[in-house]
Structures are given as C-alpha cells and as structure tokens.
Chain A
Amino acid sequence: MITFLQLVINGLALGAAYALVALGFVFIVNATGAVNFAHGDLVMAGGYAAVGLGSLAQIPAVYFLPLVAVIMFVLGVALALLAYFPLINRPPSTVFISTLLCGIILQNAFVVLFGPQAHAAPPLLKSGVAHFGEIEISVQAIGTMVVAAILIASQYLLFTRTQIGRRLRATAEDRQMAQAVGIPAFALIAATFGLGTALAGIAGALLANQFFVYPTGGIPLSVYAYIAVVIGGWGSIAGAVIGAMIISLFQVVVSAYVSYAAATGLLYVTLLLIFVVRPQGIFGERVQRRA
C-alpha cells in the first residue's frame, strides 16, 4: 500500500513535469493554432541554458530561472521568424514540418555546444528528499509541482480573464479578422512563440536536474506534449494537464505491475479507446463551426 501510494506520488510528480512541458505547447496552439514540433527540443534548450548558467554561478536554479525564461523568449521569437511567419499562409502541415526541422537543427546545435553526453542542471532550491510519514518525495519534484501549478493557473487566467488572452485566442481563430478589428496579430504571434518557448525553457530547467538533458531528449517530450493535448482536448489547458497525468501514471504506476513495454502498450491502447469514445478528447473541443 505504501509502495502504491509512493508510486502514485511519483507519478503525479512526473506528471507535473510533463504538464509543464505540455503547457507551452498548448500556449502556442491556443494563440496561433500552430503545432510546434520543436517544442521538446526547446525544452532541452531551456535545460541546457540552466546547465550553462549553473556552471557560471553555483547557485540554485530559482535565481536564474527568470533569465532562462528571457533567453528562451528570444529563441522563441527567432523560431517564429524562421519557421512560422514565412509559412503563415501555407497549410498547417508545412509549419509542422518546418518546426520539426528547426528541432533537428537545435539537436545538432546541442551536440556542437554541449557534446552528446547527458548533463544535469542545478536543483531549483536544493537537492534531497522530504519525508511525509513513510512517503518520500524529492524537493525538486515538489518545486516542479509548485511551479507547474502557478504557471498552469496563470495561463488559464491569462487566456480567459485578460484582454491580451482574448486577443490571442481571436488571433488563433482568424488571424486576418483579428487584424481587421485592430489587433496587431503578427506582434502577438511573435510574442506567443516567445512566451510558449519561455514556458518550455522553464520546464526544461526543472527537468534537467532530475532527468538530465541530452541532445535527443526532447523528441519523446514533443510526442508526450502532443499526446497530452490530443487526449485532453485540443487547446484545453485542463485537458493537457489531465493528459500529462495519464501518460505519467502509465509510466510510473502501471509499469510497476507489468513490464515497461507492456505499460507503454497499454497507454496507447487507452489512447485509442479515448479516441473511439471521445474523439474530441476528454475536455472536448469547445469551438465548432456551425454545420
């Protein structure tokens, strides 16, 4: 029972990290409709930024996390200029491919700059584990959950309660019409890529302590983010969080009772079932067109 509880806690902790990864992905989806398949690689870029900053100054990551976010914002705007704006009037699959290519370029850049080996970033506050009775949880995992909760709530409030959030959604739904009501859509899109990438970077800086960064480490993360968003409901923040939790619970809890390979298989079977039962994802697609 203790073991089971411990596994569930571990699953939730990993799920929080995945949710943080999915969050930046959803951000860009919500604001531009673009599927950014460089997202996982941007998460790694954030991890490398934390590794680099951590090697310059031996301080906990919480102090330089804002700097990571700023660096990543700039990288995100660059990504928009390179991979999104030139293709803005092309079909979505073109953007999908161009971001995928940018991801490969990033992977190569990581090898050149940091070598092919894995690196670990400094912890958010400190390393070590906290004990709650017989349950233990690493301080980093607690920090990750707290940061994830704050950013998830902020993003939800941003999109639903603020003027800029409404404008981002309007831009995603009909960019030209958004401009025709006075919204500076291109600046907003660039900022969106910047913010989404900053979120990826924060996720990477947190993940890189417990789970390391390495050049191709972002590939599965892009896939998890995509899956989380699809099972949760396209564009739904709550859905993405639930999707991330489902993935991590399969990886951590289910795999304690069957092999890792079987747990992965069961995850994908579950995904298929969700698609059959609820093709629009758990939290559904709010937006439809009238038939």
Chain B
Amino acid sequence: MKNSALSTSWRDGRQWRYGSAVMLGLSLVALSSGLARSADAYLPIVMPITGFLSVEGGSQRNGAVMALEHAPGGKTIDYPVFDTGTSATGAATALDKALSNGKPIAAAVSVFGTEMVAMMPVAAEYKVPLLTISGLAKITESDNPYIFRFLPNDREIKVAHARYVVEKLKKTKIALISDTTAYGQGGFALLKEDFTKLGVKPVYEDSSIAPDTKDMSPLLAKVKASGADAIVVHSVAAPMALIVKQAKAAGITLPIINSSSIVEPTATALFEPAELKDVCAETPSAPETRATPKIKEWADAYKTRFGLEPDGLALGQYDGVMMALTLIAKGAKTPEDLRAALQKETYEGVAMTYKSNGKGDLSHDAEIVCWDGTSRIPKVVEHYAGPDMVLK
C-alpha cells in the first residue's frame, strides 16, 4: 500500500521544476474552436499544450493528431485541441468545455497524472471514454470504466527495470539511487520492493539526491566504497545526466541502468555519445530506435510530418487514438459502443498489441534499451510483456 501512495506517473515528478511558474500555465485557451462542423465524429484533444509539461503534451498531441489525420474507413473527425495549462483545475475545466462543445465519442487526454485524477469524474459524468498514456498507477485502479491507457503503468515497468538488472545482467550488488521528487521517490519504493522479491538486497541505497545537486562525486565515492557492481537510477533528467556524466568522467565503468527520463531525445542531447557507453534504460516504447520495419515507417512519417524525432509518448498516444478510430470505422457509433469495444477488442498497433486487462490498461509492454557509446540512439536489448511485468 505504501507503494501506491508513493507511485506517481512516470512524468509526474517533473512538475517540481515548474511548479513555481504558474502564470503561463493558467491560460486556458482552446487552440482551435470546437464549432460543430459536419464530421463523422467529434474527438477532442485535451492536453497540456502550455505550461511545464508542454514538451510531453506536445509529443502526445502530435501522436493523436497524426492518427486523427489518417482515420481509417474514410471517416472525417473533428478534433479541436483544448489546453489544460498543466494544471489540475485547468484540465477539469478544459475537459468539461471540450465534452460539452459537441457530441463526443471519446477524448484524447493528458499524460499528466495529476490532471488525469481531476478529469476522471468529468468523464464519468459525460460517460465518454478517455484515451491516455499517463503512467500514474492508480488511475486504472479506481474502478472508473472510462479510462483507457496505452502505455504500461509505473508498477509494471519497474518490474521490467529490476528484472533486467538481476536476471539479464546478473548483477546482485546493486547501488539504488533516486532523487527526492515525487517521481524519484515513487520509483525508488517500487524498485526496492521488486529487488526484494527477486532476492536481491541493494548494497547501497540513496534516495536523498536533491534535484539541483551539482557535484555527484560524494555519491559516486560512496557507491564505489560499497562494492556495487551496477548502478540503478530512477530520477528526473538533470540529476540523472549528472550522475552518468560524472561517473564516466571519474572512470567508473559499472553499468548504469536508468529510468526512462534519459531516453527522451532532449536528455540524450546532453551527452557526448561516448559518455553513454554501458548505459541502459527502461522505456515503454522507443520509436527512435526504429527497431521494427513498422516502427521505422511510422517514425519516419512522424519526423516528416512534425520535423521532430518521435518519442514513446507520441507513439503510445498514436496507437491509442488509432485503436479507437479503427473501432469507430468498424461500427462503434456511441461513446458506450466504443467503451465496450475498447474493453474487449484486441488491437495490433505500431508499437505492440493492445488488449485491456479488464481495468483499462491496454499496454503491457516495456523495452530495455542500451547505448553502445557510438551514437545517441539506443538499441533495444530486451522486451518485457504482459505477465513478465508482474512479480509475485
């Protein structure tokens, strides 16, 4: 139970950095008006476009837009974008406005767990399914039948993280490190639990790294002294990047296995490729690796359309919205039809196969990616799916 209290969306922890600056985030502007046009369906996008998750919100919006631009079955979809401003109240208001503006069949909604919690009662009131990629475990654990998630939740993904270290790398003397944000603390607790279940007790634990810590040498000295054979980090991007960089500069050659923050192209940009040698990370999906022909085709199309490298958020949101659009093309006419179909159908997406576990979690896949020191693009080294990501 301690875990569920601490576990947060894999993005949630980032709000600490931006919490003080709310001014921009308060703008509740619908970017395009929701005037009813003659379209086959109305599927609004309600995401953080401004405010401090604007990078993540922008990715997932692009993913959704890309699906909506290519709706199957020749359907035309009306999809105005509503900005939540990266705030819970902004999200609830924006969703209310979006859903009352037309006859929605579903809505594509925020990556931000805090916003999701605020939007869930609104969805229940309008009885409209929400398509999300927010990682916050509890949003599918509270019996709201309108939540559909297309990325794995943090609880599952941390199992993959821990199993890779113990079972594949065969490391048993682990240094477990996290920052002091909600994101860091949540991941730390989950990893610790998972390592215990795998029969490993970390030789060094430190969850007291303030996110503005600059010099990591005392931490690294303690890790060295502990005799650890692997470093496991769950943290927001900046301190994680400093740990990795300074470890490499100090000649520490232990493998470092990180949480997904380091996979974002904006985070890998902080490194020289050589600094990423023997560095790995978990990630829900890694389209930038172009691991399969299908993903490659999609990633190239995304780059052409938006001029950016895609990330796992964009792909997860694309697959989620595309699944809904496919079900609409197959005959789902009302929100209730769609909800029932999302609940029972299986869908072959670009990243993976999606199937609800009965609670609205459709994605149970995670990748472990590693860098070889020659490029900023990682390679997929391990895939975890479904039952792999549950530990008894």
On whether A260 and B241 interact (CB within 8 A), knowing A108-B21, A116-B52, the answer reads no
Chain B residues with CB below 8 A from A14, complex form = 214-215
Q: Is A30 located at the chain interface by the 8 A CB criterion?
A: no
A93 within 8 A of B: no
Complex CA distance for A211 and B213, rounded to whole angstroms: 9
A111 to B17, CA, bound (A): 11
Q: B227-271 interface mask toward A, CB cutoff 8 Å, 1 = contact, 0 = none?
A: 000000000011001100000011000000000000010110110
CB-based nearest B residue for A219: B20
Instruction: Point out the residue from B23, B212, B215 that lies within 8 Å of A10, measured CB to CB.
Output: B215
Q: Tell me, in angstroms, the Cα distance from A251 to B217 when the chains sit together.
A: 10
Q: With contacts A111-B54, A116-B53, A129-B249 known, is A256 near B218, CB below 8 A?
A: yes
A261 to B213, CA, bound (A): 11
Interchain CB contact under 8 A, A217 and B217: no
Q: Say if the beta carbon of A192 comes within 8 Å of chain B.
A: no
- Asked if A252 lies at the interface with its beta carbon under 8 angstroms from chain B, I say yes
Residue B206 interfacial (CB < 8 Å): yes
B238–A214 CB distance below 8 A = yes
Q: Which of A127, A220, A252, A264 contacts B217 (CB 8 A)?
A: A252
A118 on the B face (CB < 8 A):
yes
Q: Is the CB of A212 within 8 A of B270?
A: yes
Least CB distance, B161 to chain A, in whole angstroms: 22
Q: Interface digits, A1-18 against B, CB 8 Å rule (1 contact, 0 not)?
A: 001001100110110010
Check A138 for interface membership: any CB of B closer than 8 A.
Answer: yes
In chain B between 337 and 358, which residues have their CB closer than 8 angstroms to a CB of chain A? none
Given contacts A115-B266, A118-B238, A119-B270, contact A7 B221 (CB under 8 A): yes
Tell whether A10 pairs with B266 under 8 Å between CB atoms, given A116-B14, A116-B55, A127-B272: no
Chain A residues lying within 8 Å of B269, measured Cβ to Cβ, are 119-120
Q: Does A197 contact B (CB under 8 A)?
A: no
The minimal Cβ–Cβ distance linking B81 to chain A, given in whole angstroms, is 18
B24 at the A interface (CB under 8 A):
yes
Interface string of A134-178 (1 = CB under 8 A from B): 001010000000000000000000000000000000000000000
B223 to chain A, nearest CB (A): 11
Chain B contacts of A201 at CB under 8 A? Answer: none
Instruction: Identify A260's interface contact among B52, B208, B249, B267, CB under 8 A.
Output: B208
Q: What chain B residues lie within 8 Å of A270 (beta carbons)? A: none
Number of interface residues of A (CB under 8 A): 44
Q: How far is the CA of A259 from the CA of B209 in the complex (A)?
A: 9
Q: A180-239: which have CB < 8 Å to B?
A: 210-212, 214-217, 219-220
A32 within 8 A of B: no
Residues of B contacting A119 in the complex (Cβ-Cβ under 8 angstroms): 269-270
Among residues of B, the one whose C-beta sits closest to the C-beta of A223 is B212
Inside 8 A of A7's CB, which chain B residues have their CB? 217-218, 221
Q: A104-B21, A107-B20, A217-B212 are in contact. Are A256 and B221 (CB under 8 A)?
A: yes
The answer to whether A215 and B17 touch (CB under 8 A), given A115-B55, A256-B222, A260-B210, is yes
In angstroms, Cα B214 to Cα A251, docked, is 9
B381 within 8 A of A: no
Q: A109-124 toward B: CB 8 Å interface, digit per residue (1/0)?
A: 0011001111110000
In the complex, are the beta carbons of B212 and A111 less than 8 A apart?
Answer: no
Report B-chain residues with C-beta under 8 Å of the C-beta of A129.
249
- Report which of B18, B219, B272 forms a contact with A116, defined as CB distance below 8 A: B18
Q: Does A253 contact B (CB under 8 A)?
A: yes
CA distance A214 to B18 in the complex (A): 10
State how many angstroms separate the Cβ of B245 from the closest Cβ of chain A: 8
What chain B residues lie within 8 Å of A120 (beta carbons)? 269-270
For residue B176, give the distance in angstroms from its CB to the closest CB of chain A.
Answer: 14
Question: B212 is contacted by which of A220, A248, A256, A261 (Cβ under 8 Å)?
Answer: A220
Within the complex, the shortest CB–CB distance from B349 to chain A, in Å, comes to 27
On whether the beta carbons of A108 and B24 are closer than 8 Å, the reply is yes
List A contacts of B213 (CB < 8 A). 251, 260
What distance in Å separates the Cβ of B40 from its nearest Cβ neighbour in chain A?
35
User: Which residues from A are CB-within-8-Å of B208?
Assistant: 259-261
Known A111-B54, A117-B267: A252·B215 in contact at CB below 8 Å: yes
List the 4 closest pairs (A to B, CB-CB), nearest first.
Answer: A256-B218, A117-B266, A261-B208, A255-B218
- Measuring CB to CB, which residues of chain B are less than 8 angstroms from any residue of chain A? 14, 17-18, 20-21, 23-24, 52-55, 180, 206, 208-210, 212-215, 217-219, 221-222, 237-238, 241-242, 249-250, 264, 266-267, 269-270, 272
Known pairs A7-B218, A10-B215. 17 more at Cβ < 8 A? A108-B21, A111-B24, A115-B54, A117-B264, A119-B269, A127-B272, A129-B249, A138-B249, A211-B214, A212-B238, A215-B52, A216-B18, A216-B20, A216-B21, A251-B213, A251-B214, A260-B219
List 26 A–B pairs whose Cβ atoms lie within 8 Å, in order of A's numbering. Answer: A6-B217, A11-B215, A111-B21, A111-B54, A115-B55, A116-B14, A116-B52, A116-B53, A116-B55, A117-B266, A117-B267, A119-B270, A210-B214, A211-B242, A216-B18, A216-B20, A217-B212, A251-B214, A251-B215, A256-B222, A259-B208, A260-B208, A260-B213, A260-B218, A260-B219, A261-B180
